[in-house]
Each structure stands twice: as structure tokens, then as C-alpha cells.
Amino acid sequence: MASIFRRRNKTYTLKEFYESNVTLPVIIYIDQGFAGNNAVETIGAGQYFFIHAVYRQRRAMTRGNIPAVSADKCLISIPLSYPIKFRRVESRLKVGHEDFMWSLLRKFDPPFQVQMSRTDQRRLDTGPCSTTTSEMSNLLVMGKYKEIYLLGNLINQGTGALYYKQVAAIPLYLPDVEISVVDGFAEGINDRWMLYIDKLYAFALQEIDLHVRHGNRESRGM
């Protein structure tokens, strides 16, 4: 399908794009994609996205063992607002009361160990595998940091319409991804360009929902 959009020649990494202070909203083209372990970390080349916001999420960096994923301990990033409770491990035989991660980090300075809730057991998707909270080892909470995402929606390159109502969150940390900026229509009168962008933005503000706790849905097919 031929694209109705005109792209600039310059390409950016996601970090370069963010640091260039490009005025939002804007349409970008994925020149080079990346295949990650899940929907959040996978983005296909040849797609157009209407980027309308930046989202910053506070997360805890932990280390632990997930048998379904690897026999070795690995880094696990957990949103501070994630609706699962943890218990701080005080000694080999003693654990504290259940509490949310954001609350524990207010009360205690890292590093400290936690167990996931044993009363609120859940099934978790960790990359291509699935596990339960009861199967995970103690986690070493090493600190907290802020993750940055570009928020946008996939666009049909032939019609300019949005494919999805739900927002896609594109993490800035994705390696190797290269993008270019769309600055107009390939043909026709470009004084209609800003009117088109304004209409997309109005829809984004009024209709689009962001699942900030859980990220992109697997059914998105990104």
C-alpha cells in the first residue's frame, strides 16, 4: 500500500528523537524496528505512529530468579504502582507485613529483599513465558528509576486513519530502533496538514486510553 505521507531524510534513534525536543504531536516512521521479548519491547519496521505525549513511569529495579525464564538470576523492572503487594524479608525466618512497592521504598532504603504476596497469587507474563508469583524467588530491590515512553497510535499509511483506540507505549531504551519524522502529505495541498494533525490530536485527548500499569496489550500485534 502506497503511503500518503512525506518523510524527512534525517533518521533518529528513539533517544535522539526525545532529546531533539521535537514539538508534539508528530507522526513518525519506523525505519528500523526491534524484536523484543514481549509486546512492549517489539516494534516493526515500516509502521507509522502518531506520537502525542511522553509518559514517565517510576519503576523499581530488582534482581531475582524466574525459573520459567532462566536458571540464572536476572534483572526485573517493576512499576512502583503495580497492584501486587510484597513482604520485606527481615531475616531467614521473618518477613514483614504485605505492602505495595512504592510504600516499601518510602519506608526503607535499598538494597533490601522482598517476597511477592503469597495471599494474592497471580499469573505473570515474563517475555515469551508465563509464571506465577509463588514460583518467583526472593527479589533484591536495588533502587528506583524513571522510565520514559513515547505514547502514540498506529496509523494506516494509506488512509491516515488510526488503527487502534488504545495507546502504544514505545520505551526509549529499545536498542537499534531508527525513526524519521513525517512533515506533510506526499501529494496534495499541505496547508491541510495542520488541520489533519489537530483532528488526530483532538481524538487522542478525548478517546484514547492508556494502560499505564500493564503496558501494551499482547493482542496489539506490534
Q: What is the pLDDT of residues 78-97, one digit of tens each?
A: 899 888 899 999 998 899 99
Per-residue pLDDT for 68 more than 60?
no
Contacts of 49 (CB under 8 A, 6+ apart): 27, 28, 30, 150, 152, 153, 154, 155, 168, 170
CA 121 to chain centroid, in Å, comes to: 24
**CA geometry: angle 170, 185, 208, nearest 5 deg:** 40
Question: Is the Cα dihedral 203, 207, 212, 214 positive or negative?
Answer: negative
> Rounded distance, CA 135 to CA 61, Å?
19
CATH of domain 5-56+148-214: 2.30.30
Domain ranges in the chain are: 5-56+148-214, 57-146
Q: Which of 15-24, 63-72, 122-131 has the highest mean pLDDT?
A: 15-24
Cβ atoms of 63 and 75 closer than 8 Å: yes
What DSSP state is assigned to residue 102?
A: H
pLDDT at 64: 82
